[in-house]
């Protein structure tokens, strides 16, 4: 009987070790994974990265630290990842600007060949907003004012050379309105400028704006997302407002340096894919208005290639100046 108890204990121990195998492998390494954020802290990509990083750590995966390296329209942070050792312990957080920037200026890296796509984690619906005391209550009001006073109406957002500026330029061209673009290093400083009435309007994601919208300090006119935001069901899309060719979402994903070992990339994909499918993460994303992503590896690479081509075509056709 004693031998049977020992046998059962050994079987249970082996099963436990197999179930915890991946976590043990990470913990034995004794290293934290650095997520390099090419934006100032406080934006949607920052929130997304921290939610996922905390969940992975709490679930027994490796500890992850989010580091902000902002500047040069995300070029500084992305270049930092480009020069990092390809060991899987320094990763980059990217957004649309990852494939916008190389279409408007020469870079030291190629986004399509110098990095390994890991996972597309989430998309962030953008909003066009005004100060809560503004006389403009609809997008049509704002456009009419721009027609009446060419150049006087301003819109601030992150830029230059970002998907936010492309969304702005698309609206400007569709509305045939002379609106002045005001670039900021992040969404938060743009919103601060709007709250102080330094600019007329702003474009930023819902999570950044949520608090000020709830208190009435800001007013949402429309979303450039192709779908309405669940937390703002009465706010129309720009398409619904009459501009059918103006639809743009922002996304956030993770990349690794090129030549990161396939085995490590596979581990990272499993970690991030499992995290964004977890109901706890989905609930946190939903509370911020994020839509969970899901494309990983080759599927995410296909998304990036398509976006690169699409943005390049839009920039060329519209003769956008985004330096």
- What strands lie across the sheet with 154-158, from one edge to the other? 180-184, 154-158, 201-205, 126-131, 218-223
Residue 126, pLDDT score: 93
pLDDT band of 29, cuts 50, 70, 90: low
**Which tops the pLDDT comparison, 208 or 253?**
253
Q: Which of 38-47, 158-167, 262-271 has the lowest mean pLDDT?
A: 158-167
Please give the domain boundaries of the chain with CATH numbers for all domains: 31-124+250-318 (3.40.190.150), 126-223 (3.40.190.10)
The pLDDT score that the predictor gives to residue 323 is 59
More confidently predicted of 228 and 193: 193
pLDDT at 220 exceeding the cut of 90: yes
pLDDT of residue 68: 96
pLDDT score, position 128: 98
Listed residue (160, 187, 183) closest to 321, CA to CA: 160
Q: Does the CA dihedral 13-14-19-24 come out positive or negative? A: positive
Give the pLDDT of residue 133. Answer: 97
Confidence band of 15 (pLDDT split at 50, 70, 90): very low
Q: What is the average pLDDT score of the chain?
A: 89
Strand partners, 117: 255
pLDDT over threshold 90, residue 318: no
Task: Answer for the pair 311, 95: CB distance below 8 angstroms, yes or no.
Answer: no
The reported pLDDT for the residue numbered 226 is 87
The two three-digit tokens of residue 224, written as one number: 């450039």
Residues 6+ apart with CB under 8 A from 93: 35, 36, 37, 38, 45, 46, 48, 49, 66, 77, 252, 253, 254
Q: What is the pLDDT of residues 233-273, one digit of tens each?
A: 999 999 999 998 888 889 999 999 999 999 999 999 999 99
Strand ranges across the sheet with 115-124: 64-68, 33-37, 90-94, 250-257, 115-124, 291-292
* Percentage of residues of the chain with pLDDT beyond 70: 90
Cα distance between residue 241 and residue 176, in whole Å: 14
Q: What is the pLDDT of residues 81-117, one digit of tens each?
A: 999 999 999 999 999 999 999 998 899 999 999 999 9
Q: Among the listed ranges 20-24, 74-78, 160-164, which one has the minimum average pLDDT value?
A: 20-24
Q: Please, what's the b/e burial string for 253-267 (b: 16 or more CB within 10 A of its CB; e: otherwise)? A: bbbbbeebeeeebeb
* Average pLDDT score over residue span 123-127: 92
Top pLDDT among 19 and 69 is at 69
Cα separation, 310 vs 313, in Å, equals 5
pLDDT at 28: 44
Answer with the residue of higher pLDDT: 95 or 161: 95
Mean pLDDT of 294-312: 95
């Amino acid at each position: 009987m004693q031998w049977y108890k020992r046998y059962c204990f050994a079987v249970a121990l082996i099963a436990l070790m197999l179930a915890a195998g991946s976590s043990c492998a990470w913990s034995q390494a004794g290293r934290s994974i650095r997520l390099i954020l090419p934006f100032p802290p406080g934006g949607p990509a920052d929130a997304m990265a921290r939610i996922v990083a905390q969940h992975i750590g709490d679930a027994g995966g490796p500890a992850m630290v989010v580091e902000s390296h902002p500047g040069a329209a995300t070029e500084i942070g992305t270049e930092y990842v480009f020069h990092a050792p390809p060991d899987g312990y320094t990763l980059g957080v990217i957004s649309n600007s990852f494939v916008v920037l190389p279409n408007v200026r020469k870079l030291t890296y190629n986004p399509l060949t110098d990095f390994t796509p890991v996972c597309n984690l989430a998309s962030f619906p953008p909003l066009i907003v005004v100060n809560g005391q503004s006389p403009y209550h609809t997008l049509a009001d704002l456009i009419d004012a721009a027609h009446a006073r060419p150049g006087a109406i301003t819109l601030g957002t992150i830029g230059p050379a970002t998907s936010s500026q492309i969304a702005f330029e698309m609206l400007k061209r569709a509305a045939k309105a002379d609106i002045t673009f005001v670039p900021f290093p992040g969404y938060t400083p743009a919103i601060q400028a709007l709250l102080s009435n330094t600019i007329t309007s702003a474009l930023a994601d819902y999570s950044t704006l949520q608090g000020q919208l709830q208190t009435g300090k800001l007013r949402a006119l429309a979303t450039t997302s192709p779908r309405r935001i669940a937390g703002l069901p009465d706010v129309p899309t720009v398409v619904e407002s009459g501009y059918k060719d103006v639809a743009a979402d922002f996304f956030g994903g993770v990349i690794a340096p090129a030549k990161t070992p396939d085995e490590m990339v596979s581990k990272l994909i499993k970690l991030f894919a499992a995290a964004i499918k977890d109901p706890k993460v989905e609930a946190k994303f939903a509370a911020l208005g994020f839509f969970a992503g899901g494309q990983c590896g080759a599927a995410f690479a296909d998304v990036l290639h398509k976006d690169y081509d699409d943005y390049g075509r839009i920039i060329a056709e519209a003769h956008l100046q985004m330096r």
